[in-house]
Homo-oligomer: A and B are copies of this chain.
Amino acid sequence: MAMSFPSSLSEPVLLLDEARVRHNLKRMAERAAAAGVRLRPHFKTHQSHTVGRWFRELGVEAITVSSLSMAEYFVADGWRDITLAFPFHPGMRDRVDALAPRTAFGIVLADPQALDGVRFSTRVDAWLKIDVGSRRTGFDPEDLDVLRDLAAALAGRDDIRLRGLLAHAGHSYDARGGQAIAAVHAETLGLLGRLRDDLADISGPLELSVGDTPTCSTVGAFPGVDEIRPGNYVFYDLSQWQIGACAVEDIAVAMACPVVARHPARGELVVHGGAVHFSKDAMDFDGQRIFGLAVEAAPDGWGALRPEIRLVRLSQEHGIVAAPDEVIARTRPGETLLFLPVHSCLTADAMGRYLTLTGEPVEMTG
């Protein structure tokens, strides 16, 4: 185990393996094409103009974001079909109104009063957010009266076009393995299909938009679905690997952390790499709560997982690493250890930038 790449860092760096990213993008584009659905990837994971352009090279034209700031950032790089997949509320009105003349823009409604007092100067698309089981937000599909009233109110407006039903099966993240994910998927599509039928007399044909990364990575068919919105697959991470949504080789970002101290008596190393770098998202692995797992350094990036070298505690800047005695014995302060993150979306957001394996900085939205 060389673990000497990159050498002599003064602080943690989030490495981005462009080849792995492009492989992930291509495979998902092929899956979407094979399934006959539009791919509207979620850009909240990478939040980067550079990475966004890699999607565009594969023919992606429509994207998803989770904040107004991200929408503004990607409009500035020429994206012209954006859905803000976060519930709209009246405080967003002015910024949406400034965006809508520059891009086809979709908002998501999750509350019957979300549009109270709101009128747009340029027409926007609206999607009804349906809670298909994750219990985060969205309309209960059983509340048909509420949904029909809202659809009727939207049908009478010329500043909004009700375009479809949108769902995020966030509970697929609790699934383990392909069969469990497929069960969540089948239930989601059944539910959305029935709801579309129930609203057809008011709204005409509605589109269906679904798409979490576990489902889109493992399920081949999307009957009745118009578009999918996976996001995390650009990088994947240890959570997705644990779910069974990716192989460990698909994970396309790794944090390079300098070792700062060794504590052989307690079987631990300390690295620079804490909560402000990884975020505090943890997962259970092998009976332990972890924030990252090490990978071998390799001349061209990183290689095999070293699951016995684990980030087990984080404070603001410190990462505490449990490691076997022989690893601790041959490690020196200033050497670099590489870790795959538990949740790449939050890690990328916390870091705010990447470094490619050829040493080029890749910027993100500020």
Contacts and interface: CB of A to CB of B under 8 A. Distances in A.
B276 A346 contact: yes
Given A86-B272, A91-B9, A280-B279, A316 B346 contact: yes
B86 A136 contact: no
8 contacts: A44-B317, A87-B260, A89-B260, A116-B332, A140-B265, A316-B345, A316-B349, A350-B350
A338 to B, nearest CB: 14
The 8 closest A-B pairs by CB, nearest first: A90-B334, A280-B280, A87-B260, A110-B261, A89-B333, A111-B261, A89-B334, A137-B270
A66 B320 CA distance: 16
Nearest to A136: B318
Interface residues of A, number: 59
A261 B334 contact: no
A318 to B, nearest CB: 6
B11 A270 contact: no
Contacts of A315: 136, 170
Interface in A1-43: 8-11
A67 interface: yes
A90 B332 CA distance: 10
Contacts of A11: 67-69
Contact of A333 (B90, B265, B266, B316): B90
B113 A276 contact: no
Interface centre among A8, A260, A280 (most CB of B within 10 A): A260
A107 B280 CA distance: 27
A68 B10 contact: yes
Interface string A304-335: 00000000010111101000000000001110
A219 interface: no
B261 A87 contact: yes
Interface string A336-347: 000000000110
Contact of A90 (B8, B66, B350): B8
Interface of A: 8-11, 44, 66-69, 86-92, 94-95, 110-111, 113-114, 116, 135-138, 140, 170, 258-263, 265-266, 270, 272, 275-276, 279-281, 313, 315-318, 320, 332-334, 345-346, 349-350, 352, 366
A322 to B, nearest CB: 12
A100 to B, nearest CB: 14
Given A111-B262, A260-B137, A346 B280 contact: yes
Contacts of A259: 89
A92 B333 CA distance: 11
Which of A9, A266, A275, A345 has the largest number of chain B CB atoms within 10 A?
Answer: A275
B320 A261 contact: no
A25 to B, nearest CB: 20
Contacts of A320: 136-137
B333 A260 contact: no
A101 to B, nearest CB: 17
Contact of A114 (B68, B86, B260): B260
A114 B269 CA distance: 13
Contacts of A270: 87, 110, 136-137
A91 B334 contact: yes
B111 A333 contact: yes
A347 to B, nearest CB: 11
Question: Which interface residue of A89, A275, A366 has the most chain B CB atoms within 10 A?
Answer: A89
A89 B352 CA distance: 24
